[in-house]
């Protein structure tokens, strides 16, 4: 029998036997040749990459404070979420990993080689468990392959968060110390640097989670975790392998990282690589440009207001910022803004012809329509056709981990600011405040987002993290670890509309784009008309203006979003609590 056939049958046994922690496992196939050669170990560890599901990362911020969408997330809509509909309590991937860890011990294979693949397996176990901790808090630690007679483990209660995080860090330390390759050119395989980068991510998350969630009683461990985040990120920074990509102009370099077919190896550490020949593609254009598919997600104005002016000063220092028209507010700003949303001279290819592409109100509810992941050719809009690879870990995150951990510790120096946030802002074309830490608090940022933070350095790092890493799947986790769940209740506001019935040219190309009305006026050809009446056909209208006949667009104010303390964790699915009452439900659920 061919080795590939044996492996297919072998993995199939895990699908049958390991779907849920409470399901009794069945006997597995014999080990066969899988653990007798390095090729077998390679093939087995390749199966772990499915755990990450990186191709969907471009839409991972669909539930966040800075995006409005076609419906309120069920998780924070009162009455729409419960243990009966919760998910994620699945353990098959862990069984697959643990089986490998137990059986990768053949003396025919050199110790260093075995440890390399054990390190890769332990990296994925750390990834698996980190996702579980973020979602559920305390979970059972299972460090072996469960068998039918392991009743005590099968029906055990949950272990402490501290034990799980300590175990995750131990796995990542082993991975970083034993994975042989530091970096590889495809940016699709786990390496030593990726293990260090992920350790830095875990330690920053957990250190700040424990700092702000004081009810856990774990604040004494915060400095150690933050110092570990500093140490791990610093090792990656000192490696000299990575830097921020600046191979294009300041108008293009940032976005190029997200639309390039192959990972930009100078900045990307780890990526879900797409390949047209293998039909391994993603759905970024379909998700971000379709009026019917996906969440129709767009940024809210409150977040767009946090983008600095090009000189490094807050945009909201302008006394007229609240009533500034879209075409004016997007000028003279951090260059990442024009590489993140449709503004000004943004163009798209339509059947080979390059055309102006203003925000489309058949898609966007706010006017701030994302382009960060979407390719500029409309050919890719109709289904999962995207060839751009999706970055999972990139160097910009490492810089921000280092800066935030040091700021939380109160030890960030001017030189370290310049080497982290300063570099990110320099690539974005910002000219001021690059070499020294800020000393003044931005009143808008503090009052709108973080009124409890009095450190201007920490405030600016949080601003920077939101802007640099937007739409990369970090925002909800950041809100959770900072204990800022109330941000999920922010009004979904959009661009300023000065008057009804007056068509607006959003991109200054001489063509009128959109008008807002209560009673439909005579239509101007080419203009999209959006009704902002209080009711439509007797039902509340989701799209309104803040001052009735003028003001900011608002969206879905008629649907309440409520974030309570219970929402810092998901509920364990009801069926699993019934099967194993020792798990006990998360508070409030």
**List of residues 6+ apart from 29 with CB closer than 8 A:** 9, 10, 13
Spatial separation of the C-alpha atoms in residues 342 and 345, rounded to whole Å? 8
Q: What is the pTM of this model?
A: 0.95
Spatial separation of the C-alpha atoms in residues 529 and 120, rounded to whole Å? 54
Using CA atoms, how far residue 422 sits from 264, 268, 435, 475, in Å, is 21, 19, 6, 21
State in words which class domain 3-216 has: mainly alpha
**List of residues 6+ apart from 21 with CB closer than 8 A:** 89, 91, 140, 142, 146, 154, 576, 580
CA atoms within 13 A on the CB side of 464: 31
The per-residue pLDDT string of the chain (589 residues; one tens digit each, 9 = 90 and over) reads 333 333 333 343 333 334 455 443 443 445 668 999 999 999 999 999 999 989 999 999 999 999 999 999 999 999 999 999 999 999 999 999 999 999 999 999 999 999 999 999 999 999 999 999 999 999 999 999 988 788 888 899 999 999 999 999 999 999 999 999 999 999 999 999 999 999 999 999 999 999 999 999 999 999 999 999 999 999 999 999 999 999 999 999 999 999 999 999 999 999 999 999 999 999 999 999 998 999 999 999 999 999 999 999 999 999 999 999 999 999 999 999 999 999 999 999 999 999 999 999 999 999 999 999 999 999 999 999 999 999 999 999 999 999 999 999 999 999 999 999 999 999 999 999 999 999 999 999 999 999 999 999 999 999 999 999 999 999 999 999 999 999 999 999 999 999 999 999 999 999 999 999 999 999 999 999 999 999 999 999 999 999 999 999 999 999 999 999 999 999 999 999 999 999 999 999 9
Spatial separation of the C-alpha atoms in residues 182 and 331, rounded to whole Å? 42
Q: Given this model, what pLDDT does residue 17 score?
A: 36
């Amino acid at each position: 029998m061919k080795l590939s056939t044996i492996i297919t049958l072998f993995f199939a046994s895990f699908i049958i036997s390991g779907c849920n922690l409470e399901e009794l496992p069945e006997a597995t196939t014999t080990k066969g040749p899988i653990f007798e050669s390095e090729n077998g170990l390679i093939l087995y560890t390749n199966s772990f990459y499915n755990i990450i599901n990186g191709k969907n990362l471009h839409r991972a911020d669909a539930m966040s404070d800075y995006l409005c969408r076609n419906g309120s997330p069920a998780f924070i809509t009162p009455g729409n979420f419960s243990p009966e509909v919760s998910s994620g309590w699945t353990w098959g991937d862990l069984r697959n990993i643990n089986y490998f860890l137990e059986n990768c011990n053949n003396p025919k294979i050199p110790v260093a080689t075995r440890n390399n693949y054990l390190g890769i397996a332990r990296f994925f176990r750390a990834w698996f468990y980190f996702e579980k901790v973020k979602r559920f808090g305390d979970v059972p630690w299972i460090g072996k392959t469960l068998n039918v007679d392991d009743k005590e483990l099968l029906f055990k209660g949950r272990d402490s968060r501290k034990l799980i995080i300590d175990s995750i860090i131990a796995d990542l330390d082993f991975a970083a110390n034993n994975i042989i390759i530091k970096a590889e050119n495809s940016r699709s395989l786990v390496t030593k640097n990726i293990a260090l980068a992920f350790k830095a991510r875990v330690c920053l998350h957990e250190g700040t989670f424990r700092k702000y969630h004081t009810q856990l009683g774990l604040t004494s461990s915060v400095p150690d975790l933050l110092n570990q985040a500093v140490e791990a990120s610093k090792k990656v920074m000192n490696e000299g392998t990575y830097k921020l990509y600046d191979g294009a102009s300041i108008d293009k370099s940032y976005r190029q990282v997200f639309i390039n077919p192959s990972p930009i190896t100078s900045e990307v550490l780890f990526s879900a690589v797409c390949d047209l020949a293998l039909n391994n593609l993603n759905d970024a254009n379909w998700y971000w440009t379709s009026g019917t598919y996906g969440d129709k997600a767009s940024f809210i104005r409150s977040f767009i207001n946090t983008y600095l002016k090009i000189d490094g000063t807050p945009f909201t220092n302008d006394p007229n910022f609240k009533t500034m028209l879209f075409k004016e507010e997007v000028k003279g700003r951090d260059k990442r803004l024009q590489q993140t949303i449709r503004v000004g001279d943004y163009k798209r290819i339509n059947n080979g012809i390059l055309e102006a592409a203003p925000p489309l109100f058949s898609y966007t509810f706010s006017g701030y329509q994302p382009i960060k992941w979407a390719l500029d050719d409309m050919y890719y809009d109709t289904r999962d056709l995207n060839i751009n690879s999706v970055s999972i870990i990139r160097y910009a995150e490492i810089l921000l981990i280092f800066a935030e951990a040091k700021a939380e510790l109160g030890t960030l120096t001017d030189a370290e600011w310049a080497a982290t946030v300063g570099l990110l802002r320099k690539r974005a074309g910002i000219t001021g405040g690059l070499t020294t830490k800020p000393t003044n608090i931005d009143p808008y940022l503090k009052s709108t987002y973080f009124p409890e933070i009095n450190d201007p350095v920490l405030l600016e790092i949080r601003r920077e993290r939101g802007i640099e890493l937007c739409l990369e799947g970090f925002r909800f986790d950041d809100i959770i670890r900072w204990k800022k769940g109330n941000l999920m209740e922010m009004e979904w506001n959009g661009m300023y509309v000065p008057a009804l019935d007056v068509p607006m040219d959003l991109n200054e190309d001489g063509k009128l784009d959109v008008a807002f009305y209560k009673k439909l006026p005579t239509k101007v050809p080419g203009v999209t008309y959006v009704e902002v009446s209080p009711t439509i056909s007797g039902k509340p209208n989701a799209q309104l203006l803040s001052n009735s006949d003028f003001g900011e667009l608002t969206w879905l104010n008629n649907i309440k979003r409520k974030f309570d303390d219970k929402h810092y964790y998901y509920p364990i699915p009801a069926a699993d609590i019934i099967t194993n009452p020792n798990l006990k439900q998360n508070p409030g659920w």
